[in-house]
C-alpha cells in the first residue's frame, strides 16, 4: 500500500514528530510504501529525526508524478496541496482543531476552520477531537489512533527513589513565542513559590523567552537528551491554553516525573488529578505556585503522584502498537468509498459567508472611524479653532512652567 503524508517541513515540533513516528512504523513493520511529501521549499535544514534515515522524502513536484493509494494532509496549510497529489483516497490527520491557534479576526483562523469541511476521511489522536469531528461531519469516516511513545528513548524505570529533602525539581518546556503554550506564564508562576526549587527551562529557541529565575535554560535538545532531563525532574509544569493530545507530560511520566497542568483539551487522555498529576486553575499563578509549594513540602504526596505517573506510562501504548492502529485506519480508508463531496460543502459555504459578513462589518467600522477622524481634522484646520488649540497649548505650557518653578522654590526654601 502506497501512502503519502504531506508536511510543511521537517523541523522540530511535536506534530511533525508524530507524523514521522507513524511513517517509520508503517514502513518498518507493515507492507507500506511511505513517502513524506514536503509541500513547500525548505528555508532551514531539517532537524535530525533518527527515523528519517529510513523514510522516503519527496518534494510536492516529485509527488505529483506518482500515484498513491492514500494521501494524508497533516496540518491545515498542507490541505491546499492535498488534491495536487494523485491518490485513490484522501485523508486528513487532525492533531488539534488548528483554528484555535490564531486570535479572532486573523485570516488564518478561518483558513484552518474551513479545512474541516473537505471531502476527506479523518484520523485523529485524541478522543475529544474525534467526538468534535463526528459532530461536525457525521457523514465522514473518522478513526482514532492514539500517539505512541518510543520506549527505547523514554524507557520507564523499574522504580524511582523518593525525593526527600532536595529542592523541588521543576521543568518547563516549549516555545515562548507561541502564546498558547504559556511558557513565560509557567516560569513566572515558579517565581511566586516560597519553597526551595530548581527550575530547568527547555526552549528550542529564545524568541520572546523570559527565563528569569531559571537555574538552567537549555535547547534545542534531542529526544534522548530530553528523556535524561525528565529523569532528573520531579514536576513538569505545563500551563498550555490550546492542546490536542499533548505529549511532554506523558514523556515525563515515562521517566518518573509527575505534572501540574491546566484543564486543557487533551489532558483527559491520561491526566488524573490526585492520582498521577495535579490540575490547576486557569490564569491562577498564586494558586499554581501553592500547588508546587505543597509538593515541595509534602514529599509523600509527590512520591505517590510520581508512582501514579509511572504506572500510567507503563500502560501507555508503544509506537509499534499505535502503528498497528494507523495501518488499520489507512487500510479502512482505502477500502471504503470516499467521503461524499457534498457532505461538507454546505458547512464550508456557511463558514465563508459568515467570514464575509464579519469582514464587511469590520470594514464598515473602519470606514466610519476614518470618516470621523477626517471630519475632526477638518474642524481642527478651521482658522478660529486652530487659534484656540494653539492658545490652549501655550497656556498648558505656561501652567506647567509655573508649577515647576513653584516646586523649585519650595525645594530651595
Q: What are phi and psi of 28, to 5 degrees?
A: -85, -35
CA distance linking residue 201 with residue 211, whole number of Å? 7
Nearest to 291 by CA among 262, 255, 328, 321: 262
Common-topology check for domains 2-148+321-343 and 168-316: yes
Helix 319-335, helix 14-29: angle, nearest 10? 80
Delimit the domains of the chain by residue range. Answer: 2-148+321-343, 168-316, 357-408
What percentage of the chain's residues is helix, strand, coil (to nearest 5)?
A: 50, 15, 35
The pTM assigned to this predicted structure is 0.80
Contact between residue 354 and residue 113 where contact means Cβ atoms under 8 Å apart? no
Q: What angle do CA 12, 17, 20 make, to 5 degrees?
A: 125
Contact between residue 7 and residue 16 where contact means Cβ atoms under 8 Å apart? yes
β-sheet bridge partners, residue 92: 73, 122
**Host H or E run for residue 297:** helix 285-297
Sequence-distant (6+) residues with CB within 8 A of 377 are none
Q: What angle do CA 285, 286, 288 make, to 5 degrees?
A: 65
Q: Which CATH architecture has domain 2-148+321-343?
A: 3-Layer(aba) Sandwich (3.40)
Q: What angle do CA 42, 47, 51 make, to 5 degrees?
A: 115
pLDDT tens, N- to C-terminus, the chain (413 residues): 999 999 998 876 778 889 999 999 999 988 899 999 999 876 655 555 555 667 889 999 999 999 999 999 999 999 999 999 999 999 999 999 998 888 887 888 888 999 999 999 999 999 999 999 999 999 999 999 999 999 999 999 999 999 888 999 999 999 999 989 999 999 999 999 999 999 999 998 999 999 999 999 998 898 899 999 999 999 999 999 988 888 899 999 999 999 999 999 999 999 999 999 999 999 999 999 999 999 999 999 999 999 999 999 999 999 999 999 999 999 999 999 887 766 666 666 666 667 666 767 777 887 888 888 787 777 767 776 566 556 666 666 556 556 555 655 665 55
Q: What are phi and psi of 380, to 5 degrees?
A: -65, -25
Q: Which pLDDT value is given to residue 209?
A: 97
**Host H or E run for residue 401:** helix 383-412
Contact between residue 177 and residue 207 where contact means Cβ atoms under 8 Å apart? yes
Q: Which pLDDT value is given to residue 171?
A: 98
203 φ/ψ sector (left φ>0, alpha ψ -120 to 50, else beta): beta
Q: What is the 3-state secondary structure (H, E, C) of 181-205?
A: HCHHHHHHHHCCCCCCEEEEEECCC
Long-range contacts of 104-107 (CB under 8 A, 24+ apart): 105/358, 105/362
Any idea which residue has 502506497 for its cell? 2
Please list, residue by residue across 217-253, b when 16 or more beta carbons sit within 10 angstroms of its beta carbon and e when fewer do.
ebbebeeeebbebbbebbbbbbbbbbbbbbbbbbbbb
**Dihedral through CA 380, CA 385, CA 386, CA 392, nearest 10?**
-110
CA distance linking residue 369 with residue 188, whole number of Å? 39
Q: How many CB atoms lie within 10 A of CB 365?
A: 10
CATH (one of 3.40.50.2000, 3.40.50.720, 2.60.40.420, 3.30.43.10) for 168-316: 3.40.50.2000
Amino acid at each position: 500500500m502506497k501512502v503519502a503524508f504531506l508536511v510543511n517541513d521537517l523541523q522540530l515540533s511535536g506534530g511533525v514528530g508524530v507524523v514521522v513516528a507513524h511513517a517509520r512504523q508503517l514502513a518498518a513493520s507493515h507492507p507500506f510504501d511511505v513517502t513524506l511529501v514536503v509541500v513547500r521549499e525548505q528555508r532551514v535544514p531539517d532537524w535530525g529525526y533518527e527515523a528519517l534515515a529510513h523514510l522516503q522524502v519527496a518534494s510536492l513536484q516529485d509527488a505529483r508524478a506518482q500515484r498513491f493509494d492514500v494521501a494524508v494532509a497533516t496540518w491545515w496549510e498542507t490541505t491546499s496541496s492535498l488534491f495536487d497529489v494523485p491518490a485513490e483516497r484522501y485523508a486528513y490527520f487532525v492533531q488539534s482543531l488548528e483554528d484555535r491557534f490564531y486570535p479572532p479576526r486573523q485570516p488564518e483562523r478561518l483558513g484552518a476552520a474551513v479545512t474541516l469541511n473537505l471531502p476527506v476521511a479523518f484520523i485523529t489522536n485524541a478522543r475529544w477531537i474525534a467526538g468534535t469531528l463526528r459532530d461536525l461531519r457525521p457523514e465522514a469516516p473518522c478513526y482514532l489512533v492514539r500517539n505512541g511513545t518510543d520506549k527505547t528513548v523514554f524507557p520507564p524505570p523499574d522504580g524511582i527513589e523518593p525525593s526527600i529533602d532536595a529542592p523541588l525539581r521543576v521543568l518547563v518546556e516549549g516555545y515562548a513565542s507561541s502564546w498558547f503554550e504559556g511558557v513565560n506564564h509557567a516560569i513566572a508562576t515558579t517565581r511566586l513559590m516560597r519553597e526551595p526549587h530548581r527550575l530547568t527551562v527547555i526552549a528550542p529557541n529564545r524568541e520572546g523567552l523570559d527565563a528569569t529565575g531559571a537555574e538552567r535554560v537549555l535547547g534545542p535538545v534531542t529526544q534522548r537528551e530530553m528523556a535524561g532531563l525528565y529523569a532528573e525532574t520531579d514536576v513538569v509544569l505545563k500551563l498550555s491554553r490550546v492542546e490536542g493530545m499533548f505529549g511532554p507530560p506523558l514523556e515525563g511520566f515515562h521517566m518518573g516525573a509527575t505534572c501540574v497542568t491546566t484543564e486543557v483539551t487533551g489532558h483527559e487522555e491520561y491526566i488524573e488529578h490526585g492520582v498521577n498529576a495535579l490540575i490547576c486553575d486557569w490564569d491562577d499563578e498564586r494558586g499554581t505556585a501553592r500547588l508546587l509549594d505543597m509538593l515541595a513540602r509534602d514529599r509523600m504526596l509527590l512520591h505517590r503522584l510520581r508512582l501514579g505517573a509511572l504506572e500510567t506510562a507503563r500502560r501507555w501504548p508503544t509506537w509499534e502498537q499505535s502503528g498497528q492502529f494507523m495501518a488499520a485506519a489507512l487500510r479502512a480508508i482505502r477500502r471504503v468509498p470516499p467521503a461524499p463531496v457534498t457532505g461538507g460543502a454546505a458547512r464550508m459555504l456557511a463558514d465563508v459567508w459568515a467570514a464575509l459578513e464579519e469582514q464587511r462589518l469590520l470594514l464598515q467600522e473602519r470606514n466610519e472611524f476614518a470618516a470621523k477622524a477626517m471630519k475632526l481634522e477638518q474642524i481642527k484646520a478651521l482658522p478660529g479653532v486652530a487659534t484656540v488649540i494653539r492658545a490652549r497649548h501655550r497656556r498648558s505650557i505656561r501652567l506647567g512652567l509655573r508649577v515647576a518653578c513653584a516646586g523649585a522654590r519650595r525645594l530651595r526654601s
